[in-house]
């Protein structure tokens, strides 16, 4: 029988989640019992299709439609809820290609993102052209902030200028840190923090624990909330997401971001309905 | 009898302050009356020597020693107050050459800053080398965050790793915005906001309105606070700096960041002792 090890929900990459914890066996068991699986990730750098490729590489059968990422959640929110009238529906993206792919899947026009012309130092001419608006696109009505490994002052200055002109301020997610390489790095919420500080208000976040994401998942998968269990390792995203969504269950796996000490005892702010040391324990 | 001294704020650049409002004449008048002038700036990108060059170019007689910038304030704090025992006194700089110059003037060792090897994209190898510490300098005991026009994910990740290892967290200043080209851009506080968000605590700020800066100015210029007037255009830095420092006077010049509407009427959080429409009015 597989050795229990560690589970991260999704942490920085589903690859960690899968590599280490005999997750394939657990998922197979759940599928064999007729459970619908949805992989809910706040990682905005990858599209659902990118995740499908990852699953394929790891030998785990999964469909693109089972993946629900914060980029997709944001794209749906923009196209179906905000539903800004064209042409003022363009999005300035602070983030990577995963966001672009999901915006494309919802036919939302965008600028910024991985545009190579913005991957450079700001110049004195840029300051002037941002200030007088000649460098800005008049059709931008939304700034969408996510995890951007290519963040720079030029992109921040442009995004801030759009916000000052009244653009809606959205974030794929606001995780402060990104678990990676067995350490922590600045997360999407930290990458977008300059915009929050400069404009003086928070973005509307569309990843866990935002209930905008839960509503979108419910709409898409027709889930019965009472018969749904949220499994995850992070209290202030995964577990809070399930609790606020009034799901039938929340299961914390104590192998990732948070530990048992964070949930046992008095006065803990977020407490799951149940916990296991590792996901492999579900096989017992 | 000792004459009152004048401390002045400068917005983003002393050039704006000087270009527009007959400042040379006003400064000349003040000097002729025996006033000691101190130019107090939160702009950390320039050293005192850089400002002296700027003054020369503008035809204004000023000494390097009359300039007191947030970089210099931070350097003094690190060398004379923190006074960490070598070799654990090295500073990781998120900022420009002005900070480096002032650290050098106080013989404080540093890494980061304008190091060209950090002006690039983060790689998978970097994630691993930051996580295992092989890319980090064991002697770094302080992270100093300022305005960095070359901020990128790699530098933020390294700075965050030092903070997680227990480095002291300082900021030259925490201004949210930078007035420039008659518009607003992300300021030092916004550039450093990812670190604040990721580590979950604020930096100790050493620019206006921090009283650490006032104490350093008092120590250097032997000012009599009761006979000192703080002149500036920004309420939450300049004027608050003077009020918290219990200076004899605070004078707001209504030509910059804040306007009369921000100080007249009930319930205004920061109110100067006096205001003028422009500095030139002092000539009247």
Both B111 and B193 in a single domain?
yes
Kindly determine whether residue B121 and residue A150, on different chains, have CB atoms separated by under 8 Å.
Answer: yes
Both A34 and A142 in a single domain?
no
In this predicted structure, which of A242-256, B20-34, B108-122 has the lowest mean pLDDT?
Answer: B20-34
Assigned token pair, A205:
């976040």
Spatial separation of the C-alpha atoms in residues B43 and B71, rounded to whole Å: 8
Range of the structural domain that residue B96 is part of: 84-205
Kindly determine whether residue A194 and residue B191, on different chains, have CB atoms separated by under 8 Å.
Answer: yes
Residue that is written with structure tokens 């009034």 in the block: A246
B133 Rama sector, left if φ>0, alpha if ψ -120 to 50, beta otherwise:
left
What is chain A written as a DSSP string?
A: -PPP----TTSS-HHHHHHHTTHHHHHHHHHHTT----EEE---SS-HHHHHHHHHHTT----GGGEEEHHHHHHHIIIIII-PPTTTTEEEEES-HHHHHHHHHTT--EEETT-GGGSS---HHHHHHHHTSTTS-TTEEEEEE---TT--HHHHHHHHHHHHTT-EEEES---SEEEETTEEEE-HHHHTHHHHHHHTS--EE-STT-HHHHHHHHHHH---GGG-EEEES-IIIIIHHHHHTT-SEEEEETTSSS-GGGTSSTT-S---SEEESSGGGGG-
Both A181 and A227 in a single domain?
no
The answer to whether B222 and A164 are in contact (CB under 8 A) is no
Which of B172, B205, B238 is where one domain is finished? B205
Provide the pLDDT for residue A162. Answer: 98
Provide the pLDDT for residue B203. Answer: 97
Which of B205, B230, B246 is where one domain is finished? B205
A chain contacts of residue B198, beta-carbon cutoff 8 Å:
176-177, 184, 186-187, 190
Both B226 and B193 in a single domain?
no
Where residue A219 sits, what CATH number does that domain have? 3.40.50.1000
Both A18 and A124 in a single domain?
no
B residues 197..236 contacting A (CB < 8 A): 197-198, 200
pLDDT category, B16, cuts 50, 70, 90? very low
Kindly determine whether residue A187 and residue B164, on different chains, have CB atoms separated by under 8 Å.
Answer: no
Both A135 and A55 in a single domain?
no
Whether pLDDT at A8 is above 80? no
Helix H, strand E, coil C: the string for A6-73 is: CCCCCCCCHHHHHHHCCHHHHHHHHHHCCCCCCEEECCCCCCHHHHHHHHHHCCCCCCHHHEEEHHHH
Total of domains in chain B: 2
Top-confidence residue, B81 or A134: A134
pLDDT category, A78, cuts 50, 70, 90? very high
> Minimal Cα distance from A186: which residue of B?
B198
Question: Is B199 strand, coil or helix?
Answer: helix
> Minimal Cα distance from B175: which residue of A?
A198
Residue A26, min C-alpha distance to chain B (Å) = 29
> Minimal Cα distance from B186: which residue of A?
A198
Spatial separation of the C-alpha atoms in residues A92 and A113, rounded to whole Å: 7
Q: What is the ipTM of this complex?
A: 0.86
Most B CBs within 10 Å, among A125, A146, A175, A181, to test the B interface = A181
pLDDT category, A12, cuts 50, 70, 90? very low
Provide the pLDDT for residue A16. Answer: 43
| Phi and psi at residue B231, to the nearest 5° | -110, 130
Whether pLDDT at B284 is above 50? yes
Both A98 and A184 in a single domain?
yes
Asked, for residue B47, whether it belongs to a domain, the answer is no
Both B213 and B265 in a single domain?
yes
Provide the pLDDT for residue B194. Answer: 98
Both A56 and A163 in a single domain?
no
CA distances from B202 to A177, A190, A250, B110, B168 (A): 16, 13, 33, 21, 11
Assigned token pair, A162:
């759009």
> Minimal Cα distance from A149: which residue of B?
B153
Among A2-6, A61-65, A247-251, the range with the most confident prediction by mean pLDDT is: A247-251
Asked, for residue A141, whether it belongs to a domain, the answer is yes
Whether pLDDT at B36 is above 90? yes
Asked, for residue B53, whether it belongs to a domain, the answer is no
Kindly determine whether residue B156 and residue A190, on different chains, have CB atoms separated by under 8 Å.
Answer: yes
Both B219 and B259 in a single domain?
yes
Residue A153 has its nearest CB partner, among B130, B150, B181, at B150
Average pLDDT in chain B: 90
Kindly determine whether residue A197 and residue B185, on different chains, have CB atoms separated by under 8 Å.
Answer: no
Asked, for residue A263, whether it belongs to a domain, the answer is yes
In this predicted structure, which of A10-19, A191-200, B191-200 has the lowest mean pLDDT?
Answer: A10-19
Residue-wise pLDDT for A31-56, tens only, equals: 899 999 999 999 888 899 999 998 88
Top-confidence residue, A80 or A157: A157
Which of B151, B184, B205 is where one domain is finished? B205
Whether pLDDT at B17 is above 50? no
Whether pLDDT at B81 is above 70? yes
Top-confidence residue, B22 or B16: B22
Asked, for residue B78, whether it belongs to a domain, the answer is no
Asked, for residue B79, whether it belongs to a domain, the answer is no
Tell me what the mean pLDDT of segment A184-207 comes to: 97
pLDDT category, A1, cuts 50, 70, 90? very low
Whether pLDDT at A221 is above 70? yes
Asked, for residue B271, whether it belongs to a domain, the answer is yes
Residue that is written with structure tokens 């005991």 in the block: B141
Both B214 and B199 in a single domain?
no
Both B177 and B127 in a single domain?
yes
Q: Where are the alpha helices (DSSP H) in B44-151?
A: 48-57, 70-76, 97-105, 124-131
Assigned token pair, A29:
């068991």
CA distances from B259 to A199, B15, B179, B252, B276 (A): 18, 20, 14, 9, 10
Asked, for residue B74, whether it belongs to a domain, the answer is no
What percentage of residues in chain A have a pLDDT greater than 90? Answer: 71
In this predicted structure, which of A56-60, A134-138, B89-93, B210-214 has the lowest mean pLDDT?
Answer: A56-60
């Amino acid at each position: 029988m597989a050795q229990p090890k560690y589970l991260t929900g999704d942490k920085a990459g589903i690859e960690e989640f899968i590599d280490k914890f005999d997750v394939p066996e657990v998922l197979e068991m759940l599928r064999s019992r007729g459970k619908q699986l949805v992989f809910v990730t706040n990682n905005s750098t990858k599209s659902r299709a990118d995740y499908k490729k990852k699953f394929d590489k790891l030998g785990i059968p999964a469909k693109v439609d089972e993946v629900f990422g914060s980029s997709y959640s944001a794209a749906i929110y923009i196209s179906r809820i905000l539903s800004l009238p064209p042409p003022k529906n363009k999005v300035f993206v602070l983030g990577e290609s995963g966001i672009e792919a999901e915006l494309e899947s919802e036919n939302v026009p965008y600028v910024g993102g991985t545009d190579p012309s913005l991957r450079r130092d700001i110049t004195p001419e840029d300051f002037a052209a941002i200030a007088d608006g000649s460098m800005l696109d008049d059709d931008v009505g939304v700034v969408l902030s996510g995890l951007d490994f290519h963040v720079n002052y030029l992109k921040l200055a442009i995004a801030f200028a759009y916000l000052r002109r009244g653009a809606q301020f959205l974030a794929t997610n606001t995780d402060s840190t990104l678990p990676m390489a067995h350490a922590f790095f600045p997360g999407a919420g930290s990458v977008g923090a300059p915009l929050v500080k400069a404009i003086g208000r928070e973005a509307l976040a569309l990843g866990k624990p935002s209930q905008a994401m839960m509503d979108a998942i419910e709409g898409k998968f027709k889930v019965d909330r009472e018969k749904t269990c949220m499994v995850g390792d992070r209290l202030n995203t995964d577990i809070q997401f399930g609790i606020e969504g009034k799901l039938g269950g929340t299961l914390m796996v104590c192998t990732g971001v948070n530990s048992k000490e964070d949930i046992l005892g008095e006065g803990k702010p977020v407490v799951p309905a149940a916990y296991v040391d590792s996901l492999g324990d579900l096989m017992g």
